[in-house]
Amino acid sequence: MYNNKAILITGGTGSFGRSYARFLLENFTPKKVIIFSRDELKQFRMQEEFRMHKNIRFFLGDVRDLARLQRAFEGVDIVVHAAALKQVPALEYNPFEAVQTNIVGSQNVITAALDQGVEKVLLISSDKAAHPVNLYGATKMCAERIFISSNVYAGGSKATRFSVVRYGNVLGSRGSIVETILKKEKGEPLNLTHPDMTRFWITLDQCFALVTYALTSMVGGETFIPKVPSMKIVDLFRALAPGKKVEIAGIRRTVVDLGKYFVILPDILMGGNRYTKYRKVRKTKGQESMYTSDTNKEWLDRDALMELLSTNV
């Protein structure tokens, strides 16, 4: 799969991209590995780190720039699309930035790959794309959908193929919760949204095995999901920081019950006193915030439905 191939990694200076590049160069003989990213300082440091490898190239650019991607993809056989904005709180404050990079950027990767005749393109996605509850997850879900649907544009045996891999937290990755816990100062409490919160966990070696399997097996349109262990975040805290105080921050979203209506207040409360009117209103907790049609307490029977139809249709 990798030998004598030109492989380009978008977001190649990130935790996954840097480690994946090393995996490729130390275990295979690719024609070249191209690191595509927008951070010149990270590229400079990575060039120093990889100076012994002669078949690695660095291409400064942003996935938001289609023309730059077109140039970078010339002669490329495989693209692994790992570029993304992924810090959840930052994206809630800057939502359209997430859209431009994670969604529009992914569409640009697709367009450039089709135009340049890339053989295979694989999106690195997240478990947050399944039933997304935040903007990051929603943008990754959109990226997955456009990647999968892009296979309709590819016809013939030599057409570009697009597939997806989806996984959870990577042990040891930069900015991960493990890194956050270990960097906490003595006496500084750990914040937890909910005591029952869980996450999937995967190692870098498992990531490389998943990506390799997907690139080897894909025919276009698949979403590959590894079978990996889960762990409660509270148990992770106890293992890595025993005895440290844990503060339950609660779910970010605030829902108030106004009797006949629910009101969802924004995650990011703007300045001023515009929300003081809700201070004394009862706020829902736990399962009360789950307002879904299958758990609703008010149901229509046949007679009630027919009466509504007779007066509203």
- The answer to whether 120 touches 160, Cβ cutoff 8 Å, is yes
- Catalytic residues, by residue number, are 128
Q: Pinpoint the alpha helices (H) of the chain.
A: 15-27, 40-49, 66-72, 88-93, 95-98, 105-116, 135-149, 177-183, 204-217, 233-240, 302-312
**Partners of residue 22 on adjacent β-strands:** none
Q: How far is CA 112 from CA 121, 140, 275, in A?
A: 11, 19, 46
Amino acid letter, residue 290: M
Q: Is 191 helix (H, G, I), strand (E, B) or coil?
A: strand
DSSP single-letter state for residue 278: G
| Tokens linked to 51 | 């100076």
Which own/partner pairs from 253-258 qualify as long-range (CB within 8 Å, at least 24 positions apart)?
253/289, 254/283, 255/283, 255/284, 255/288, 255/289, 256/281, 256/282, 256/283, 256/284, 257/281, 257/282, 257/283, 257/284, 257/288
Please choose, from the candidates 288, 192, 173, the residue with its C-alpha nearest in 3D space to the C-alpha of residue 246. 192
- Name the strand (E) or helix (H) holding 167: strand 161-167
